[in-house]
A and B are shown apart, each in its own frame.
Chain A
Amino acid sequence: MKTFGGPVLFLDRGDINTDEIIPAKYLTEITKEDLKPYILEDLKLPGFDAKGPKTRNARVIVSRANFGCGSSREHAPWVFEVNGITAVIAESFARIFRQNMFNCGMAAIELPKSDLDQIMSHAGDEDAVMDINIETGTLTMKGGGQQKSFSFEISPFDRALVLAGGWVDYADRKY
């Protein structure tokens, strides 16, 4: 199983789409590792630098509603994975992106807006870090000398995929 948690990258906008996560022109790369430099290349957001240390060090992304909308490209979860980001926390996800994350053994976690507002309030904290426990369904946000825990739900199937390390091995055993 992958590990979840670490420094947080805050992307405070709804409808962040797959073209912003990884532009189509890079879909000709043959390996996941080759995608690494292009993470979030076309995302325009105040204070956000796709090449900056916050992006480079991040292990978790926190965003808003309808994250990952658009294309079915699994290159979106992959570009996160090869950059060490294994969890995205958002108010909601586009269906295909969410399933792609779990299919790769990564986590796409939905939280209500009120919880996200509290988590987003740490966006200015240089030491913002999140701990995520998939098995207990809890995450803890730490930063600026504060700490608060939130509970979340993921479906039993998605949890099984995360624990199995992804859908291919799971499916080949069971079907």
Chain B
Amino acid sequence: MALLQVDRLRVEFPARQRTLVAVDDVSLSIDAGEVLGVVGESGAGKSVTGAAIIGLIEPPGRIAGGEIRFAGRRIDCLPDDAKRHIRGREIGSVFQDPLTSLNPLFTVGQQLVETILAHSDRTAADARRHALRLLEEVGIPAPAQRIDAYPHEFSGGMRQRVVIALAICAAPRLIIADEPTTALDVSIQSQIIALLKRLCREHGTAIMLITHDMGVIAETADRVAVMYAGRIVEVGPVRQILRSPNHPYTQGLMESIPRLGSDSAPLAQIDGAMPRLHEIPVGCAFHPRCPDASERCRETRPALRMVADSASVACLLFDDGCADD
């Protein structure tokens, strides 16, 4: 059984004239110890999906349909207090910008200790010892000296390590990492990715890695889900999708990644832009930009269906099982 099972999730934001659908009929699952990459342009609904899982959709946004199960238990309709016990304890979070994720007026030690105390019965002294161990584990040098420092006294990369330490305070079984490296320097990015991978390996923690960076996905993820305009267009093992993407959008994404050593044609790009939430077209959301769009794509919305051993794609080209192009 999967650790996290999301079924037909739908998230809506009521706006002035109409209701915007940020996440539309999204299903995905993560197994224990697995890294699922969720990739897509900004506004594709990746972060909202993550927020929905931990029950932190900003009002007036709301989950309008579907269900979320964690370790077999339904968590999307729990009371607030029960949701809080899942956050941090069962599911840890890492946010994009380590500069703004930490409260500037409290030392990192204070923020670690309060998180540990919120999820365990440790004494304050014990919590502090645990905080020191955590800082050491995420690779903060000389944690005993740094624990009483304020966030602004850390560099960006070190702050992200502190954020990760906060995420693993209560040894959660799943970490939702929303663009954990986007705000960091390139040289730091790989260190943070390596840290996440190590934690995943050593503790068997599953990770939902939300990013727009295919490179990070390639390096880290076991499986990848590609999102477009609030929907999942393709999902499958990362190698398979990187090697032979099925959905025209994924293909476009792959072709737009610069490759070293291949002096092939100029970098391809997908024409147009992802539609904004209030102008998502009927039918396949990608059809206005799709090179292979047919008349049917304008009317029929494709469902996600299995095309190879373990890869699924939502595209009418594959609708009748004849996936030969």
Is chain B a partner of chain A in the same complex?
no
Binding site for B on A (CB under 8 A): none
